[in-house]
Structure 1
Amino acid sequence: MLTETSNDYILLGIGNSLIDLFVYNNEEVEKLIKKYGLLPKPIDKDFNKINGFLNEVSKYPDTLKVPGGTAQNSLRGAQRLLPPNSTVIIGCIGKDEMGKILRRVLNNDGVRTEYTEIDDYPTGVSSFSKLSNNNYFVRNNKGAATQYNLEDLKSPSKWKFVENAKYIYVCGFILKENFHIVKEIYKHALENNKIYATNLGSVKLVTKYKYRMDEISPYWDIIFGNESEALAFAEMSNWNTTDIFEVTKKLAQLPKHSSNFVRMAVITRDVRSTIYADQNGTIKEYPIIPIAENDLIDATGAGDSFVGGFLSQFIQGKSIDECIMAGHKLANYIIRQVGTQYDSYDSFEHNEVNY
């Protein structure tokens, strides 16, 4: 039972509860893409066609079904490096097989799932279909993930986890459909002296919803992102610089409501490095862990796993150097396989790579 002093479920994640489908039957996928007329348009708004495509590829016997969603991916990684019962995720799924898979895998990873299940929408799905030219064809339907409501969050059974958590990680992607929930969470974090962490999400999200990020940014305690997202934020802010070190420093030094915690900005740069800056002007670059080209399989979830590793150490009071290293280790592991899977991380950390 949770109490005001409980250390259980100290890290709360809120985001889109999705499942990723990885499809490698190139010939059949390309037939389906043609059947549903999903190309050459880069973005297709006909959800009947998208859902038809997703339903068919989900039934392929070789389709890999892996939990996705930024917050879910990060908490699963964090829990690998935290004591039992440290993480809990809040979100919305459908009453279907995909939802059952999400709950089962996250629970197996040690993450407590406080999902709301609904009848009218399916569990959110993203498909990553490998084409004959080795590119991915991606389509998604967030489904039930977009239907989470404030009334449900504020119910005693859910809100007790918000009140208990000392660290809250909110997926940037929910700014679109669930901004009302984001507002409730960042105000709670400020009023109760909790750490509020989030991410920039994507270049498209930054470009389209910068005005909402500007409303939230004074509440940021930790802001994560990649280089492209940070540079897009700088451009939208008219900072007149493409120097990623300067941009990271500016992110950390944006106006902030609370003075109880020095804001940190952490920007990943793919195969190059990670840049850390804080509100006091500290800035440092960390090289990534090298990986051989033939060991790099799939980058899906690498940034999310980095966040999970970072937060796992930060929560335990470790140094920034240790936080970054833990993030790099998890990301290095994730890019060696398809999808965000953590099943064999313990043996990998101890036996596979000499750090």
Structure 2
Amino acid sequence: MPNETSNEYILLGIGNSLLDLFVYNSEEVEKLIEKYELLPKPIDKDFNKINEFLNEVSKYPDTLKVPGGTAQNSLRGAQRLLPPNSTVIIGCIGKDEFGKTLKRVLNNDGVKTEYMEVDNYPTGISSFNKLTNNKYFVRNNKGAATRYNLENLKSPSKWKFVENAKYIYVCGFILKENFHIVKEIYKHTSENNKVYATNLSSVKSVKKYKHRIDEISPYWDIIFGNESEALTFAEMSNWNTTDILEVTKKLAQLPKYSNNFVRIAVITRDARSTIYADQNGTIKEYPVIPIAENDLIDVTGAGDAFVGGFLSQFIQGKSADECIMAGHKLSNYIIRQVGTQYDSYDSFVQNNSVNYS
């Protein structure tokens, strides 16, 4: 464990610990979809069918297994741009091969894993199945990811990482099952002069859990989101505007519990731009790094990569311009491959002719 003056494990992530499956055996997948009657979208009672489908596609020899989950993706990206031993992730996995895969890959990426492991739930998985029409059929079972509990978090072996971290990034997707953990963390950051960062997670989450987001928002130090999520938040808040610059500014200037830090709001707009605003009224729009159409492979995890790049510079005291550029670099790299993989990032930056200026 680092001492009081150490910057080891300075960035802590908390979120759903998932493994992403990318499946490209289109004809076989479509047969399975028909076999398990998964189209149109299955209702809740078809959950067993979804699990059987996921189990089968996971066994295909050409299935690519890549860590997923917002917080995990972001911390893996951040660690690429930080000194060794800067990041640690907390979550829950099953005692199975998928869980072993997550630990191995995250540790290889330099992220310390502090998972709770359970016997009676499998490691959570999401499958991205490319069909013959080039569209994705996505199904998931969060499994053990939903079973994380406050008792484990507060245990001495885990809580010491919470106490040590100076920046904590909490995935907004855990608002459903683990809101009690979210509350414990935002109170801790506020009371201990730490930075609390989170995301809006999805349009669905904003619509369904707006009341919980409103409870958390006074504790935000950094809020990330994409344009659709931000506009949904604005609509549900009755802001009567669809001007994304104005919406980002309003997000940054929502009432804030603590004055320890100036709040920042960062909203990504896919291939168009990223908007940065702070509580003091600063607002700026940044163009993204262009990419040729034939270089664009898969956008899965691009937003998570952006967050990782941004946080890597923010915790080093860099300017907003430098934080945004780091985020753009990582996301530009991620969309050139399948899934959120960082293995070749350093060599890509050194050898590729992409203009990062």
State the one-letter code of the partner of 1:255: P
Which residue of structure 2 lines up, in the alignment, with residue 267 of structure 1?
267
Distance 1:43 1:135 in 2: 21
Residue aligned with 2:209, SS: helix
Which residue of structure 2 lines up, in the alignment, with residue 83 of structure 1?
83
1:4: how far off?
2.7
Distance 2:311 2:6 in 1: 19
Residue aligned with 1:303, SS: helix
Which residue of structure 2 lines up, in the alignment, with residue 240 of structure 1?
240
Distance 1:175 1:59 in 2: 31
1:284: how far off?
0.2
2:208 equivalent to 1:208: yes
1:351: how far off?
1.4
2:338 equivalent to 1:338: yes
Deviates further, 59-68 or 43-52: 43-52
Which residue of structure 1 lines up, in the alignment, with residue 326 of structure 2?
326
Q: Which runs of 4+ in 1 moved over 6 A?
A: none
Which residue of structure 1 lines up, in the alignment, with residue 190 of structure 2?
190
Distance 2:9 2:283 in 1: 31
1:46: how far off?
1.9
Which residue of structure 2 lines up, in the alignment, with residue 284 of structure 1?
284
Which residue of structure 1 lines up, in the alignment, with residue 18 of structure 2?
18
Which residue of structure 1 lines up, in the alignment, with residue 355 of structure 2?
354
State the one-letter code of the partner of 2:258: S
Runs of 5+ in structure 1 lacking a partner? none
CA offsets 1:242-286 (integer angstroms, 9 cap, x no match): 000000000000000011110000000000000000001110000
Residue aligned with 1:225, SS: strand
Is the contact between residue 195 and residue 221 of structure 1 (CA under 8 Å) also seen in structure 2? Answer: yes
Is the contact between residue 38 and residue 44 of structure 1 (CA under 8 Å) also seen in structure 2? Answer: no
State the one-letter code of the partner of 1:267: I
2:307 equivalent to 1:298: no
Query: 1:99-248 counterparts in 2 under 5 A?
Result: 99-248=99-248
1:3: how far off?
2.5
Distance 2:129 2:42 in 1: 15
Q: RMSD of the TM alignment (CA)?
A: 0.8
Output the TM-score relative to the length of structure 1.
0.99
Runs of 5+ in structure 2 lacking a partner? none
State the one-letter code of the partner of 1:119: D
1:117: how far off?
0.7
1:354: how far off?
3.1
1:43: how far off?
5.7
Equivalent pairs, count = 355
Distance 1:236 1:5 in 2: 44
Distance 2:91 2:39 in 1: 32
Residue aligned with 1:183, SS: helix
Residue aligned with 1:46, SS: helix
Which residue of structure 1 lines up, in the alignment, with residue 92 of structure 2?
92
Residue aligned with 2:311, SS: helix
1:5: how far off?
2.6
State the one-letter code of the partner of 1:123: T
Query: 1:307-318 counterparts in 2 under 5 A?
Result: 307-318=307-318
1:49: how far off?
0.5
Query: 1:50-89 counterparts in 2 under 5 A?
Result: 50-89=50-89
1:41: how far off?
2.2
CA offsets 1:207-243 (integer angstroms, 9 cap, x no match): 0000000000000000000000000000110101100
1:2: how far off?
2.5
Output the TM-score relative to the length of structure 2.
0.98
Residue aligned with 1:340, SS: coil
Distance 1:47 1:98 in 2: 20
Distance 1:313 1:47 in 2: 41
Is the contact between residue 16 and residue 91 of structure 1 (CA under 8 Å) also seen in structure 2? Answer: yes
Distance 2:2 2:316 in 1: 20
